[in-house]
Chain A
Amino acid sequence: MEATEKRGFFGEFGGSQVPADLQKVLDILEEQFYHFKDDEEFNKELNYYFTEYVGRKSPLYFAENLTAKCGGAKIYLKREDLNHTGSHKINNVLGQILLAKRMGAKRVIAETGAGQHGVATATVCAMFGMDCTIYMGAEDTKRQALNVFRMELLGAKVVAVEKGQGRLKEAVDEAFADLVENYDHTFYLLGSAVGPHPFPSMVKHFQAVISKESKEQHLAKEGKLPTAVIACVGGGSNAIGSFADYIEDKEVRLIGVEPDKAASITEGRPGDLHGFRCIVLQDEEGNPLPTYSIAAGLDYPGVGPEHSYLHTIGRAEYVTVSNEEVLEAFQTLSKVEGIIPALESSHAVAHALRLAPTLSTDDSIIVNISGRGDKDVEQVFNMLK
């Protein structure tokens, strides 16, 4: 798999179908990424910040109460919500900003949906003294006003993108347009495992720390591999990070959970979007369709190319949950375990609540809690009222 991954393809998916202007920028990025990813100094620095700044390792917490409530498989929670900035996004931004630094960039741009990636990016830019611009769909800036202020507090400039639906897709478009115009001094810090090569491979590489840790932790606690790993899927960065180290362990079920109203993999078909081939939610004529998830971070009509591939070859399963199930899961985990999960992560929890009772008590499942739910409390309050 490594050989094909190097060219940026996962089966028929992935690749880099971008205008020439952008391709030359990506070529440089690819070269630098492959140069530094196994570099000893680079990884030493990355691990230093993982430990000292992010607070890794994140715990693999045995959710005893939730397990008792479901009856069935043991449920473990991989607590990415406990990372500095409150989500898994920090893993990737740290990796990429160290790369940006080595490439001599002075300015960093990023897109954000729920605001978590934007906050994570603004955070590391503040720490490393980089000029930072965050593109966010106008609709999302309203849904996540507090995160907008948080980014501004961290010194970032937040640009509300009014085009189209005003969501993640439009924010991605604007960020790429900015990169094409300003590539000579700007680094595009992409937050999800999507986009043209080398972004999906790079994001996976930096997020793989989730599954590297969870595997060790699970082996230490249970003396065996988990039965299943569950993660929510929008673009797919927390899911690919949660799956990465288990892909070769065929006995471990890998389960991605999509919102039923933004179900790219479950209801889409192969297409080309944002410069790469993946499974796309689209109409008969090839136009990407609008999405309507309650979780801003999952509102994306495409999905990472490796997820598209894992689905096609049957290595990973992809399921959908409804908004009602998500809200139920959000409240259940809060009440039973005292952990308020992000609405995104609540998708994974919702499926765990369905799956655990169908498995035996010898089984165990890992649910990736990709982010904390503080950002969503107001939205949920308004929905439940």
Chain B
Amino acid sequence: MTLQQAIEKVNADGGKAFVPYIMAGDGGLETLRDTVLRLQTLGVSAIEVGIPFTDPVADGPTIELAGERALQNGTNLRNVIATLQSFADEVTIPLVAMTYLNPVLAYGPNFAKDAYAAGIRGVIVPDMPYEERGIIHSDLQAAGVALVQLISLTSPAERIAKLAAGSEGFIYAVTVNGITGARADFADHLDAHFAKLKEASSLPVLAGFGISTPEQVQRFGGYSDGVIVGSKIVDSIANNDWGTIEELIQASKQLGVK
């Protein structure tokens, strides 16, 4: 099943997608299997797997610190992919890798193929703009890995339309200006913004960046086809606080109950 199909299936059943972000290697790569399988058991729709990087320009402090811990454990794109491959047969939901461009270039031409074998069905490269996607796009297409576009809701209408039409897997709607991290307030008129995205593309639209409470999960899930929760999940996993994670997932599941 492709990434798009997996999310559409959740929506077709009347539900909203819930995609947690985890930092691979935070707590050691040996914990990655347990984390992925536990989230899968809890019923998440897909998992965004962050790859640590020494220069994470698009990440807020929570994810940056998790990345630093992971780097100290010796985590890198290569051993994350190898680790994911080692238990890929146990994973039934799609994984989406979030990585910066330079590690992908350093990995070399087998990246897309190896990623697919690791269960990765989508890739997000926040420092590679849409116009530069040619750097890795054809390899990803050939391997069957979607290149997901981040779309800022504050972009001009024509840019939103262009990125929405060019995204694959789903549309990652950035709900606040700037970097990842928990925010107390969001811009108004969100319903109109999401409606524009739905007009521009038939892909599912997931809302991300700054969603950290069950109330926000419900609010953004109401406008979109699902939500991505990053910093809050990363924190909760680091603190072994699975109760908070379950509450967030629960909030998303309640959305599906018509």
A283-300, CB under 8 A of B: which get 1 and which 0?
A: 011111110000000000
Q: Which residue of A lies closest to B102 (CB)?
A: A286
Distance of A161 Cα from B151 Cα, bound (Å): 28
Q: Which residues of A lie under 8 Å from residue B179 when comparing CB positions?
A: 177, 180
B104 at the interface (CB under 8 A from A): yes
Q: Say how far A113's CB is from chain B's closest CB, in angstroms.
A: 15
B177 touches A284 (CB 8 A): no
B38 at the interface (CB under 8 A from A): no
Q: Say how far A45's CB is from chain B's closest CB, in angstroms.
A: 32
How many residues of chain A are within 8 Å of chain B by beta carbon?
31
Stretch at the interface among A13-21, A328-336, A368-376: A13-21
Q: A19-B150, A181-B177, A285-B76 are in contact. Are A275 and B106 (CB under 8 A)?
A: no
A282 touches B106 (CB 8 A): yes
B159 touches A287 (CB 8 A): no
Distance of A181 Cα from B60 Cα, bound (Å): 13
A286 touches B150 (CB 8 A): no
A20 touches B102 (CB 8 A): no
Distance of A290 Cα from B68 Cα, bound (Å): 13
Q: Which residues of A lie under 8 Å from residue B103 when comparing CB positions?
A: 285-287
Q: A271-B106, A274-B57, A287-B53 are in contact. Are A20 and B76 (CB under 8 A)?
A: no
B113 at the interface (CB under 8 A from A): no
Q: Which residues of A lie under 8 Å from residue B101 when comparing CB positions?
A: 17, 272
A164 at the interface (CB under 8 A from B): yes
Distance of A150 Cα from B8 Cα, bound (Å): 58
Contacting B at CB under 8 A, from A1-49, are 15-21, 23-24
A271 touches B102 (CB 8 A): yes
B200 at the interface (CB under 8 A from A): no
The contact of B54 among A20, A23, A164, by CB within 8 Å, is A164
A173 touches B55 (CB 8 A): yes
B53 touches A19 (CB 8 A): no
A/B pair count, beta carbons within 8 Å: 94
Q: Which residues of A lie under 8 Å from residue B64 when comparing CB positions?
A: 163-164
B77 touches A20 (CB 8 A): no
B223 at the interface (CB under 8 A from A): no
B154 at the interface (CB under 8 A from A): yes
Q: Say how far B108's CB is from chain A's closest CB, in angstroms.
A: 10
Q: Say how far A171's CB is from chain B's closest CB, in angstroms.
A: 12
B155 touches A287 (CB 8 A): no
A169 at the interface (CB under 8 A from B): yes
Contacting A at CB under 8 A, from B113-143, are 126-132
A280 at the interface (CB under 8 A from B): yes
Distance of A84 Cα from B175 Cα, bound (Å): 44
How many residues of chain B are within 8 Å of chain A by beta carbon?
38
Distance of A274 Cα from B151 Cα, bound (Å): 19
A177-191, CB under 8 A of B: which get 1 and which 0?
A: 100110000000000
Distance of A273 Cα from B107 Cα, bound (Å): 16
B5 at the interface (CB under 8 A from A): no
A243 at the interface (CB under 8 A from B): no
Q: Which residues of A lie under 8 Å from residue B55 when comparing CB positions?
A: 164, 169, 173, 273-274, 287-288
A135 at the interface (CB under 8 A from B): no
Q: Say how far A241's CB is from chain B's closest CB, in angstroms.
A: 26
Q: Which residues of B lie under 8 Å from residue A180 when comparing CB positions?
A: 177-179
B64-79, CB under 8 A of A: which get 1 and which 0?
A: 1000100100001110
Contacting A at CB under 8 A, from B76-103, are 76-78, 101-103
B11 at the interface (CB under 8 A from A): no
B76 touches A19 (CB 8 A): no
Q: Which residues of B lie under 8 Å from residue A272 when comparing CB positions?
A: 101-102, 105, 127
B106 touches A17 (CB 8 A): no
The contact of B159 among A20, A280, A286, A288, by CB within 8 Å, is A20
Q: Say how far B33's CB is from chain A's closest CB, in angstroms.
A: 21
Q: Which residues of A lie under 8 Å from residue B54 when comparing CB positions?
A: 164, 287-290
Distance of A16 Cα from B130 Cα, bound (Å): 11
A286 touches B127 (CB 8 A): no
Q: Say how far B93's CB is from chain A's closest CB, in angstroms.
A: 27
B132 touches A20 (CB 8 A): no
Distance of A168 Cα from B154 Cα, bound (Å): 29
B106 touches A285 (CB 8 A): yes
B156 at the interface (CB under 8 A from A): yes
B107 touches A20 (CB 8 A): no
Distance of A282 Cα from B53 Cα, bound (Å): 11
A24 touches B159 (CB 8 A): yes
Q: Say how far A235's CB is from chain B's closest CB, in angstroms.
A: 15
Q: Which residue of B lies closest to A289 (CB)?
A: B54
Distance of A20 Cα from B128 Cα, bound (Å): 9
B77 touches A18 (CB 8 A): no
Distance of A17 Cα from B100 Cα, bound (Å): 11
Q: Which residue of A lies closest to B103 (CB)?
A: A286
Contacting B at CB under 8 A, from A115-173, are 163-164, 169, 173
B49-60, CB under 8 A of A: which get 1 and which 0?
A: 000011101100
B163 touches A20 (CB 8 A): yes
Q: Which residues of B lie under 8 Å from residue A176 when comparing CB positions?
A: 57
Distance of A346 Cα from B132 Cα, bound (Å): 39
A19 touches B61 (CB 8 A): no
Instruction: List chain A positions with a Cβ less than 8 A from chain B.
Output: 15-21, 23-24, 163-164, 169, 173, 176-177, 180-181, 271-275, 280, 282, 284-290
Sample of 6 further A-B pairs with CB below 8 A, known A180-B177, A287-B54:
A20-B155, A24-B155, A271-B102, A275-B127, A286-B77, A287-B53
